[in-house]
Each structure stands twice: as structure tokens, then as C-alpha cells.
Amino acid sequence: MLREAWAHTPTHHRVWALAAPMILSNISVPLVALVDSTVVGHLPHAHQLGAVAVGSTLYVMIVGILGFLRMGTTGFAAQASGRADGGALRQVLIKGLALAALLALTLGLLALPFGDLALDWMNPSAELDEQTRAFFHTRLFGLPAALANFALIGWFLGTQNARAPLAILLGTNVLNIVLSLWFVLGLDWGVVGAARAAVLSEWGGALLGLALTGGALRRYPGRTQWAAMARWESWRPLLAVNRDIFIRSLALQGVFFLLTVQGARLGDDTVAAKALLLNGLLLTAYALDGFAHAVEALCGHALGSRDRQGLVRSLVVAGGWSLIASLVFALFFAVGGHLFIALQSDIPSVRSTADIYLPYLALLPLVAVWSYLLDGLFIGATRAREMRDAMLLSVLLALPLAWWLRDYANHGLWIAFLGFMLLRSLCLGVYAYHLTRHDQWFVSPNPEGSVHAQPGNPS
């Protein structure tokens, strides 16, 4: 069955039609951090690069926790697209943007005390603390736009439109590159200049995304059922899925937060070196996520149209290409990792520290690829509860390992992180096996807006 599925050429075309634009657009996301690190990394002090690293981590942690806005929107939009339900697609879009606005307001009020508390806990040097606060406080002005982009990109992807996310993300990040070079090097605004460039770029991307929705909606005729949206029952499935993905994302960002806290205690050079290596992780993760996004859209569409064969083919083809891509990244970091580090910084102490830990970065793509792929399957199926439980179980199993490795400094942190990523893949795999064995993929986890919903029903 696997060989037959892999040999199905039209599925390869469909996977690459979605994955290629998403890989290009996804790679542009870590390029923001890479460009910021590269530009600021050529300033004279390690604490300036460290401030961008820590400040970006705090901001990305807040935004990452709310990644459910994209993931939850994708699954429901994909299933509505599979049913050719234009009315439901409009409701998914409106609900996603409404949640983005509400959460931006709420998180904006909580972010400042959170950032202050986190920095107090890290106990960084005085220079690092001052620069990080300035960077983080400025970045918060982009929070509403960042969350709106989540909802827009998830919705476009659910309709199997990968060009619009490509336009949004490339537009956002190309603008960020240009503004970062101008503000940091041209206007000499330093660390704050990098933050200002990111904020303006996020707002530019959000405005572009809103402008593109008109053309996408014309391909799916339908009416927005405002009366249905006023009922609590129409919101319940989306909120339930988003709640579970939120808990899952909170646990994942908690792991990255602990890594940042422990790393900050090891000195400015270690913080800066970890930032350079994590840029490699982000580059890999966002590229491999291109195939996961294809799985989300294609599997969600197959579930909406009840196409079992299409579901299997999409998984096999996307999984095969994900494995090939992970091998390429592992080889790249194993052979050319030193050049990757040298490109980002010319501070000798930072570069020599980062070079020590390159083998861990080379192993990460091979360990993490399966969790990315399985996440795509569960998102497309709107199986958020299983994703949540798998993540919580992974964290609980990884904590004893991290505690046992605590005396091994940065080596211990990297080994514990590799163990966590392996546990993520294994736990998701167990849940996927259980659902497959009991033929549960086509049984709705959401009473309303489910894979069984008929055209015209609210999602």
C-alpha cells in the first residue's frame, strides 16, 4: 500500500503545489531572526546580540502560544473547503480574526509584567537586561498584526491556497530585512531599530493579507450566516480546538522558555551562541513545516470529502519528502555548520562557543521531522485533544531527563532538548496508531463544524 501511494504522481504534484510556496514563505520567517542576528551580531558587543536573542524569544513565546489561531483555523477551513461550503469558510475567517483582535488586547496587557518577571528570573547582566527590555517592549506593538497574520495564513492554507501565505510572509520578511538594515546600520538605532523594523513589517503583512481575502472568497460563493454566528454553539467547536492547541502550545513554549532561562545563566557568550544555533533549528523547522502544512490542507480536505485513499496518499508522499529534506538539512549542518555560524557573527568567543554544539544541531532535523509531520495530520483532522495530550505527556517524560542532565551545563540542555523532540514524535505516533487501528479518523471530534457537517451548516 505504501509503495502504491508513493507512486501516485498526482499526489506528488498536489503536495509540492502546497509545500513549495509554504517552504519558501516559511524559510523567510527564521530569516527575520537570522537577519536580525547577523546585523546586530556585527555590532561590537555580545550583549547586543544576546538582547535580540532573549527579547525575540520572549516575544516569540507569547506569539507562539497563540499559534492555535493558525492551526485551528486551517483544520476547519480545510474541511469546509472539502465540503465546498463557502458560507462556513466566511465564518471561519471572521471568527479567526475576531479571536486575534481579542487575544491581542488581552496579551498586550499581560506581556509587560510577564517580560519583567522573566528577565528578573534570568538574572542577566545589566547591559543585557537593559537592551532586552528595550527590544521586547518595542516588539509588542506588532502583536495585533502578528495574530491577525496567524488567522489569515491558516485560513488561506485551509483553502489550499499557498500563494497568499507566500505573499504575506515573503512581503513581511523582505520588508523586515530592508528596514532592519536601514534602521540598525543606516540610522544607527541599534537593537531598538531591529525591533521597529519587525513591527512595521508585521503590520504591512497583515494589511496585505486582508486585501487578498477578496479574491479567495470569490472562488467559494456563499453567505455569512450572521444569525448562526450569534449563537454560542457555532463558536464551541472552534474554541474547543483552539483551547486544546493553546494548552499544547503553552507546554511547548514552556520548554523553550526553560531553555532560554537556563542558557541565560551560562553567560552572554553562551546566550549569543545558542541564538545562532537556534536560528538553524528555526530554519529547519519552518522548511519542514512546508510539508506539514501540505498535510494539514490535503488531509483536512480528504476528511471533509471522506476520501480515505487521498488521506493515505497525502501522508505517504508528504512523509517521504519530509524525510529526504531532513537528511539534507542534517548533512548541511554537519558539513557546513561552521560557515553558517561565521555568517551570523564575527565575535570570536561567540563563534567558538557555537561551533562546540554544532553536532546537536545536525541531529535535530532527523529527530524532529516526525513530530512536524504528525502535527499536520492532527491539525487537518482537528484532533486537537490528542495533540494536547501528546505534548503534555512528552513534557512530563522529558522533565526527569532534564533534571538528571542539569549538571552537564549546555551539553545537558541540548541532550534534554533532543530527548524532548524524540518523545514528541513517539507520543504523537502512538496516538496516530490508536486512531488508525480503531478507524477513528473519519469519526468527528467536533459535533458542529465536523467532517460530517453538510454544506451550509456553520463551522
- Residue whose grid cell is 528595550: 134
**Residue with the larger pLDDT of the pair 378 and 270:** 378
Stretch 166-177: mean pLDDT: 85
Asked if 252 contacts 371 with a C-beta cutoff of 8 angstroms, the reply is no
Stretch 40-47: mean pLDDT: 61
Which pLDDT score is estimated for 63? 76
Whether the pLDDT of residue 44 is over 60: the answer is no
Q: What's this model's pTM, rounded to 2 decimal places?
A: 0.68
User: DSSP string of 405-445?
Assistant: TGGGHHHHHHHHHHHHHHHHHHHHHHHHHHHHHTT-TTS-S
Stretch 87-116: mean pLDDT: 82
Rounded distance between C-alpha atoms, residue 316 and residue 117, angstroms: 45
Rounded distance between C-alpha atoms, residue 146 and residue 13, angstroms: 31
Which pLDDT score is estimated for 430? 93
Which pLDDT score is estimated for 283? 80
Asked if 450 contacts 240 with a C-beta cutoff of 8 angstroms, the reply is no
Which pLDDT score is estimated for 89? 84
Whether the pLDDT of residue 267 is over 60: the answer is yes
Rounded distance between C-alpha atoms, residue 459 and residue 453, angstroms: 8
Whether the pLDDT of residue 236 is over 60: the answer is yes
Which pLDDT score is estimated for 328? 93
Whether the pLDDT of residue 189 is over 70: the answer is yes
- pLDDT tens, residue by residue, 190-213: 778 888 888 898 899 999 998 998
Whether the pLDDT of residue 459 is over 50: the answer is no
Q: Rounded to 10 degrees, what is the CA torsion of 299, 304, 308, 313?
A: -30
Stretch 107-120: mean pLDDT: 73
**pLDDT class for 251, splitting at 50, 70, 90?**
confident
Rounded distance between C-alpha atoms, residue 198 and residue 202, angstroms: 6
Whether the pLDDT of residue 443 is over 80: the answer is no
Which pLDDT score is estimated for 239? 79
Whether the pLDDT of residue 377 is over 80: the answer is yes
**pLDDT class for 449, splitting at 50, 70, 90?**
very low
Which pLDDT score is estimated for 451? 38
**Residue with the larger pLDDT of the pair 140 and 47:** 140
Number of separate helices (H) and strands (E) present in the chain: 17, 0
Rounded distance between C-alpha atoms, residue 214 and residue 210, angstroms: 8
C-alpha cell belonging to residue 49: 546580540
Stretch 239-257: mean pLDDT: 81
**Residue with the larger pLDDT of the pair 63 and 213:** 213
Which pLDDT score is estimated for 42? 57
The interaxial angle of helices 9-41 and 268-304, nearest 10 deg, is 160
Whether the pLDDT of residue 365 is over 70: the answer is yes
Stretch 160-172: mean pLDDT: 84
**Residue type at position 418:** L
Which pLDDT score is estimated for 418? 92
**pLDDT class for 444, splitting at 50, 70, 90?**
low
Whether the pLDDT of residue 105 is over 50: the answer is yes
Which pLDDT score is estimated for 450? 41
Work out the number of other CB atoms within 10 angstroms of the CB of residue 49.
Answer: 31
Whether the pLDDT of residue 448 is over 50: the answer is no
- pLDDT tens, residue by residue, 395-428: 999 988 888 887 787 788 889 889 999 999 999 9
Selection from 122-126, 171-175, 343-347, 394-398 with the highest mean pLDDT = 394-398
Stretch 372-378: mean pLDDT: 89
**Residue with the larger pLDDT of the pair 100 and 58:** 100
DSSP 141: G
- pLDDT tens, residue by residue, 316-337: 898 899 999 999 999 999 988 8
Which pLDDT score is estimated for 286? 78
C-alpha cell belonging to residue 396: 512530563
Whether the pLDDT of residue 1 is over 80: the answer is no
